[in-house]
Amino acid sequence: MLAIGRAIMSRPRLLLLDEPSMGLAPLMVHKVFEAIRTVAAEGVTLLLVEQNARLALETCHRGYVMESGRISLAATAPQLLADPRVRQAYLGE
């Protein structure tokens, strides 16, 4: 939260976030993603790298799936959430 706060003080047009939920308790993950949604609603473009695929896709507008360093899928977040390959490989369904 502090790192995000410090970053937005400079009024960036683009904010890069690498694994903002890593190592956090579930309650804190919820709070961090609330802050991310607020920043995005204020017009800041976000590039989010996140292992929690469901949470990331529920937060973002667009998603990319990388496998072995290459983009294997690219679509809107709702399309990726509905994609059977994503559901099986990353959402445990």
CB distance 59 to 80 below 8 Å = no
CA 9 to chain centre: 20
Structure token pair of residue 76: 């809107």
Question: What are the domain boundaries of the chain?
Answer: 1-51, 52-93
State pLDDT tens for residues 33-51.
999 999 999 999 999 999 9
Residue 51 is classified by DSSP as S
What distance in Å separates the CA atoms of residue 21 and residue 18, rounded to the nearest whole number? 9
**CA nearest 8: which of 40, 33, 34, 53?**
40
State pLDDT tens for residues 78-93.
999 999 999 999 888 7
Q: Please, what is the end-to-end C-alpha distance for the chain in angstroms?
A: 31
Q: Which residue is listed with tokens 């473009």?
A: 45
pTM of the predicted protein model: 0.83
